[in-house]
């Protein structure tokens, strides 16, 4: 009887000791979390290019949720109910801007008014570096195809993260510098690669006009079946005109895009009697972890390198 009572007493003391230990540990973790172990910034980024930039600048201090996956056309993208929940739960929302995600613009405005940190990464780019098209001067949003220009977007991402976590600002600034250095090196690599294509053959024919910045930065004439947005479809007259242009200029190859239907350009290719230079990534990255020729196509740098290799080989 006495032994049973003693055993129960020991168990009660042990239980109280364990409870006190757990309580003390909770205090330690709580203090540490508030001072040096703050939770990562939850970030929702629209396109793969924006998400990749956010991960590069944010490092382990951010948790990035990419809204649009491989092959998704941001011009036509409409948010689902689950997307809206993901956006509402994010502490910081990053999007490309310049009306690339046209159907999400009102959603971004509402979230911004509700107190969310919402930022277009292209905000603040020099106006004289932007391409305007048409009589209304619509700005071409595909700035990521000028690698040097896209590198400047790291500054805005850094500023947004630093405002959300001032205590981690130095780390964000350091990573932003590294990202910009890496992209400047990538820009030099692109210039070296395209220099191997004879100037007379630097004509890039694609599905829609996503490569204007590429052409301006690296010396290519870019001709597309559709305009800068895929909202409007090309007509028969557009297809005939492009076919005649390809024949007249002796263009050796045309290029389809991962996020745009191949059908119309495939028909033009057959009618013009030229080869398919391959599929280019335009408004979306590849699948994360997908590798080809040593490139991770789910990253911005891998996407750019893959595109350049296909363009150079197709035209050279």
Q: What are phi and psi of 203, to 5 degrees?
A: -120, 115
Angstrom CA distances, 82 to 14, 51, 261, stand at 47, 18, 26
Residue listed under structure tokens 């004879």: 198
pLDDT tens for each residue of the chain, 316 residues long: 444 444 444 434 444 444 433 343 333 333 333 334 589 999 999 999 999 999 999 999 999 999 999 999 999 999 999 999 999 999 999 999 999 999 999 999 999 999 899 999 999 999 999 999 876 788 999 999 999 999 999 999 999 999 999 999 999 999 999 999 999 999 999 999 999 999 999 999 999 889 999 999 999 999 999 865 555 566 788 899 999 999 999 999 999 998 888 999 999 999 999 999 999 999 999 998 888 888 999 999 999 999 999 999 999 8
| pLDDT on residue 21 | 37
CATH 3.40.50.1980 residue spans of the chain: 41-189, 196-315
| pLDDT on residue 8 | 43
Question: What is the value of pTM for the model shown?
Answer: 0.85
Task: Specify the CATH class of 196-315 in words.
Answer: alpha beta
Query: Distance (Å, rounded) from C-alpha 188 to C-alpha 205?
Result: 23
User: Are 262 and 256 in contact, with CB atoms under 8 Å apart?
Assistant: yes
Query: Distance (Å, rounded) from C-alpha 231 to C-alpha 195?
Result: 34
User: Are 286 and 261 in contact, with CB atoms under 8 Å apart?
Assistant: no
| pLDDT on residue 227 | 65
| pLDDT on residue 37 | 57
Domain 41-189 in CATH: superfamily?
Nitrogenase molybdenum iron protein domain (3.40.50.1980)
Q: How many CB atoms lie within 10 A of CB 5?
A: 9
| pLDDT on residue 32 | 34
| pLDDT on residue 229 | 57
| pLDDT on residue 289 | 87
Helices 105-113 and 81-89, axial angle in degrees (round to 10): 40
């Amino acid at each position: 009887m006495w032994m049973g009572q003693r055993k129960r007493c020991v168990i009660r003391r042990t239980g109280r000791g364990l409870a006190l230990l757990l309580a003390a540990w909770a205090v330690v973790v709580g203090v540490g979390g508030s001072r040096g172990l703050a939770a990562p910034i939850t970030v929702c980024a629209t396109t793969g290019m924006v998400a990749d930039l956010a991960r590069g600048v944010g490092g382990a201090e951010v948790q990035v949720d990419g809204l649009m996956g491989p092959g998704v056309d941001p011009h036509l993208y409409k948010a689902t109910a689950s997307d809206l929940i993901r956006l509402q739960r994010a502490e910081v929302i990053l999007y490309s801007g310049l009306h690339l995600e046209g159907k999400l613009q009102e959603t971004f405005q509402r979230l911004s008014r509700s107190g969310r940190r919402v930022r277009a990464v292209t905000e603040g780019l020099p106006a004289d570096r932007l391409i305007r098209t048409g009589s209304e001067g619509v700005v071409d949003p595909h700035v990521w195809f000028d690698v040097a220009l896209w590198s400047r977007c790291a500054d805005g991402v850094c500023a947004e993260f630093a405002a959300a976590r001032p205590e981690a600002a130095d780390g964000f600034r350091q990573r932003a510098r590294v990202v910009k250095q890496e992209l400047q090196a990538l820009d030099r690599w692109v210039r070296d690669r395209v220099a191997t294509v004879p100037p007379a053959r630097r004509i890039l024919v694609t599905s829609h006009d996503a490569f204007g910045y590429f052409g301006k930065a690296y010396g290519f004439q870019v001709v597309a079946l559709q305009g800068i947005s895929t909202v409007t479809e090309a007509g028969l007259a557009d297809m005939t005109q492009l076919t005649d242009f390809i024949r007249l200029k002796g263009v050796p190859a045309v290029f389809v895009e991962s996020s745009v239907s191949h059908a119309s350009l495939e028909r033009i290719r057959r009618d013009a009697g030229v080869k398919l230079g391959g599929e280019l990534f335009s408004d979306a990255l590849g699948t994360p972890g997908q590798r080809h020729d040593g490139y991770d196509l789910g990253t911005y740098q891998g996407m750019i390198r893959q595109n350049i290799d296909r363009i150079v080989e197709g035209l050279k």
